[in-house]
Amino acid sequence: ATTLRAAADAIGKDIGVAVDVNKLQNNAQYRNTIATEFNSLTAENAMKWDATEPQDGNYTFSQADTLVNFAEDNGQSVHGHTFVWHAQTPSWVQGLNATAMRTAMVDHINTVANRYEGRVDSWDVVNEVVSDNNGAMRDSFWLRTMGEGFITTAFQTARAADPNADLYINDYSIEGDNAKSDTIYRIAQGLKSQNILDGVGFQSHLILGQVPSTMEANLQRFVDLGLKVRITELDIRLNTPADANELAQQAEDYRRVTEICAELADCSGITVWGLRDNDSWVPGTFPGTGAALLFFEDYAKKPAYTAVLNALGGG
């Protein structure tokens, strides 16, 4: 296999990419590369609440539809992102009382999940519900208004809305064994025992040379609960500009993460969080860092691309 897509297909894994729908519509080389190299798509922004329901009951699906139609035309699966998050959620939701917020959540999940039933294969039902502080729950308007039960409500609603979709809980900095991943583990155990959770998404926004040494064992403990695992937002940032040594180390890091997923039967796949280095959210959020993805700005393949291809069994 000479593409990521062909190599991943051959071993039954998803190799996904976060897609900017505006570029998909306006940039032919972006479009062609996405179609050729990936068998799974995630909307980088187009399925979030602020994009799909900016006002109460006023749903706007044009960008999300464009992505799902593209995936269908190209035989790609879709991993949906995301129903319930503390960010990119309109202020009209954030100000509701508990009863009204629950109603809004249920309506939102039902409407979006029903629209894409049978076309979106899996969903990040809740995103980033654990804080970075000793594994405490994140202090969000969801938690403050509805209490911890907001998570169960979201999963129960999603399960009923699309019983065939795989439902994931998704977070960052849970790749290794740590206080935050311990909390995700406890939440996952509870949801799994109610049969409303199918998998855990490990975002994997990593830093050069810092793939956690406990990553494989940590993913395994979730698999041992009967869950799938998935690398949902992979990028590996470094201090820019990158030199050859850094690009080689980055390739090594990408290889390691890909091997971990390839060797775990219950790892459904890997999604990289953007196509080219210049498509990434990283430089805007962490100035002076970047070069985090698999393709250079001119679509040339980086050493990390070859490492992922090889780790998927291609080359």
Residue 269 CA to residue 202 CA, distance in Å, equals 11
Give the phi and the psi of residue 18 in degrees, each rounded to 5.
Answer: -80, 130
Binding site for ligand G3I (CB under 6 A): 44-45, 87-88, 127, 203, 233, 281
* Residue placing its CB nearer to ligand G3I in the complex, 228 or 237: 237
* Residue placing its CB nearer to ligand G3I in the complex, 81 or 192: 81
Catalytic, 233? Answer yes
- CB 274 → ligand G3I: shortest distance, Å? 7
Residues 168 and 129: beta-carbon distance below 8 Å: no
Report how far apart, in Å, the C-alpha atoms of 98 and of each of 48, 93, 142, 143 are: 21, 10, 9, 10
- CB 108 → ligand G3I: shortest distance, Å? 16
Q: Is 144 exposed, middle or buried (0-12, 13-18, 19+ CB in 10 A)?
A: exposed
Report how far apart, in Å, the C-alpha atoms of 145 and of each of 94, 122, 156, 250 are: 9, 27, 18, 42
- CB 12 → ligand G3I: shortest distance, Å? 26
* Residue placing its CB nearer to ligand G3I in the complex, 167 or 311: 167
- CB 269 → ligand G3I: shortest distance, Å? 17
CA proximity to 258, closest of 198, 193, 315: 315
Q: Is the peptide bond before 163 cis (omega within 30 degrees of 0)?
A: no
Q: Which residue has the closest beta carbon to ligand G3I?
A: 281
- CB 203 → ligand G3I: shortest distance, Å? 5
CA proximity to 71, closest of 125, 14, 109: 14
Q: Which neighbouring-strand residues pair with 89?
A: none
* Residue placing its CB nearer to ligand G3I in the complex, 87 or 265: 87
Residue 300, SS3 per DSSP: coil
Residue 207 CA to residue 100 CA, distance in Å, equals 40
Q: Which residue of the set 175, 233, 246, 259 is catalytic?
A: 233
* Residue placing its CB nearer to ligand G3I in the complex, 45 or 152: 45
Q: Which residues are catalytic?
A: 233
